[in-house]
């Protein structure tokens, strides 16, 4: 699965962005797109399948991948809350 993600993001050649998301306690976080992409590349199992399916769907409809990455960054912010 990692091979799919590596190829997908290499072909998309997305511009670097920071996503502003809030942790559960309301603290704003800036998460770089590269961190989200690296987290995606490290997913396994059903989670990786779901992300792959969504990326394929977004690509098919010429959607903005950054919108989805921001959504995933929000999930990372929840994990970073300490």
User: What digits encode the pLDDT tens for the residues 20-68?
Assistant: 998 888 889 899 999 999 999 999 999 999 999 999 999 999 999 999 9
Range of the domain at 70: 2-80
Instruction: Give, in order, the Cα–Cα distances in Å from 8 to each of 5, 20, 55, 80, 81.
Output: 5, 24, 9, 26, 29
| Number of folded domains that form the chain | 1
Q: Tell me, what's the pLDDT at 81? A: 54
Instruction: State residue 50 phi and psi, 5-degree precision.
Output: -65, -40
Per-residue 3-state assignment (H helix, E strand, C coil) for the chain: CHHHHHHHHHHHCCCCCEEEEECCCCCEEEEEHHHHHHHHHCCCHHHHHHHHHHHHHHHHCCCCHHHHHHHHHHHHHHHHCC
């Amino acid at each position: 699965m990692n091979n799919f993600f590596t190829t997908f993001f290499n072909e998309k050649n997305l511009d670097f962005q920071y996503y502003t998301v809030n942790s559960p306690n309301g603290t704003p976080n800036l998460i770089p797109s590269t961190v989200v992409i690296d987290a995606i590349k490290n997913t396994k199992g059903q989670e990786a399948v779901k992300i792959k399916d969504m990326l394929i769907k977004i690509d098919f409809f010429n959607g903005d991948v950054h919108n989805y990455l921001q959504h995933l960054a929000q999930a990372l912010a929840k994990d970073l809350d300490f």
